[in-house]
Amino acid sequence: MSRIKTFNLPDLGEGLTEGEILAWLVKVGDTIELNQPIVEVETAKAAVEIPAKWAGQVQAIHHPEGTTVEVGTPIIAIDTDPGAGPLEALSTTATASGDLPTPSAASLAAVEVAPAEGMIEPGLIGGEAPGGRTAVLVGYGPRTTSAKRRPRKGAVPAPAAPAGVDHGVVVGHTPAPTPTIPAPQVNDRRGGASGGAVLAKPPVRKLAKDLGVDLATLTGSGPLGSITREDVQQAASGASVVVAEPITATTAPSFGADREQRIPVKGVRKLTAENMSRSAFTAPHVTEFLTVDVTRAMKALDRLRGRREWRDVRVSPLLLVAKAVLLAVQRHPMVNSTWAGDEIVVKEYVNLGIAAATERGLIVPNVKDAGRLSLRELADALTDLVQTAKSGRTSPAAMSGGTLTITNVGVFGVDTGTPILPPGESAILAFGAVREMPWVHKGKVKVRQITTLGLSFDHRIIDGELGSKFLRDVGDFLTDPEAALLAWT
């Protein structure tokens, strides 16, 4: 049995067919253990670390970082028994026993194969080009001659090199000097002090002659530096002549590729684009908005943070919004459903998705069966979900199976939005920023804490009445969470 094991890129689930190698965590020659992370791979859903299937020593890495490889492609070779001796020694032993030796990759790479007689050297037209292609000129067949550049007009051709002399630099030969092209004459706009012609109209010239003014000593203030009547009159009266700023040509703005940036669409961003396009043009979206006074909810959070058993828990407004959504789903189960063509699948469990913006793009991990969690358990689950997403360690399993989603656009200072449904879900809630605003409270205008909710839903499943009632219940809970808990549970 061969001691060299080839590790192929595994199927990471959810029908993924390829992945990009982000970083190798080992190098050739490293000794690794079983299940030790060896490579970080980004799929269409997340970046994951892949562990080693065998312990041993890394012999070869087949693909560099930044390469996209298909599932099942060999990515690394591992020597599972490095203590048995060098691979070259094993090859010698095999030869003595009659078997053919197996050359190592290093020995093969060190062999330089000279071109056979009649073969064309790589790089010449007709020879081998990168990627195994034949180097040809467009529109012509392969030629077995090196490309030649037509000499410039007026250039002196170099003498032919004698036989056996390298066609690079000919010893003892001095190259012909390159003819120098004189710079174009530029008219001096300050007159004739530098020998150039004075730019002035005939009436101005006559005036200068009558007043005894030498035009060559003046600096023109007219167009293109021309001398005007005023310049001559000021010189004749002994006043200083105002020096005009030289006219410089304005460079035309460039709108070419040098001022553009092209970002490859791959990984998480590519999957997000495909999902959003499919959802936007498949499910008929409707979005409703509701502005609510959340002052009591914010005070309830403050009281919750002050409790001893909650002091180490991250308590945010998103926690109350999540709880409000879970309670509203219990009152309106149809909101937590999926369109399945000939039927609507209503789900009794809620895998609550939380949209998260990461460096690699938008992802939507979800809290599994969130409706069964207590408020403390829900707070811990949301904290873990957000921290894992920010670190880029969200697994594909954590992003699959979502049934209802919340997108917290308020963290960006945005009031609300019209979110697009994740595929397979029938509703998504946008939670806007909480702001202090004037609000009518108990018949008086007071400063209250206000937020705006935006609910997008699939109109094939949820009609206007159902969507409005669901959004109203979420708003009622955030307006007075204690009263809603007492009334609904």
Instruction: Tell me the catalytic residues.
Output: 459
Nearest Cα residue to 76 out of 2, 3, 7: 7
Give me 411's structure tokens: 């963290």
Interstrand relation of 285-293 and 56-61 (parallel, antiparallel or unpaired)? unpaired
Q: Measured between alpha carbons, how far is 322 from 453 in angstroms, rounded to an integer? A: 13
List b or e across 59-68, with b for residues whose CB sees 16 or more CB atoms inside 10 angstroms: bbbbbeeeee
Nearest Cα residue to 75 out of 19, 117, 131: 19
List Cβ neighbours of 355 (8 Å cut-off, separation of 6 or more).
362, 363, 364, 405, 406, 407, 408, 419
Question: DSSP label at 60?
Answer: E
Q: Measured between alpha carbons, how far is 225 from 235 in angstroms, rounded to an integer? A: 16
Q: Measured between alpha carbons, how far is 421 from 335 in angstroms, rounded to an integer? A: 12
**Helices 375-390 and 317-331, packing angle to 10 deg:** 120
Q: Measured between alpha carbons, how far is 375 from 313 in angstroms, rounded to an integer? A: 11
Q: Measured between alpha carbons, how far is 68 from 22 in angstroms, rounded to an integer? A: 9
Nearest Cα residue to 326 out of 289, 296, 379, 370: 370
Q: Measured between alpha carbons, how far is 141 from 143 in angstroms, rounded to an integer? A: 6
Give me 456's structure tokens: 């997008």
Nearest Cα residue to 22 out of 54, 58, 60, 63: 63
3 state DSSP class of 351? coil
The beta strands (E) that lie in 267-386 are given as 285-293, 337-339, 344-346, 352-354, 356-358, 361-363, 366-367
| Phi, psi torsion values for 347, nearest 5 degrees | -100, 135
Write the burial class of residue 70 (CB in 10 Å: 0-12 exposed, 13-18 middle, 19+ buried).
exposed
Give me 183's structure tokens: 């710079």
Q: Measured between alpha carbons, how far is 170 from 301 in angstroms, rounded to an integer? A: 85
Question: DSSP label at 411?
Answer: G
Residue in the structure block whose two tokens are 């056979």: 116
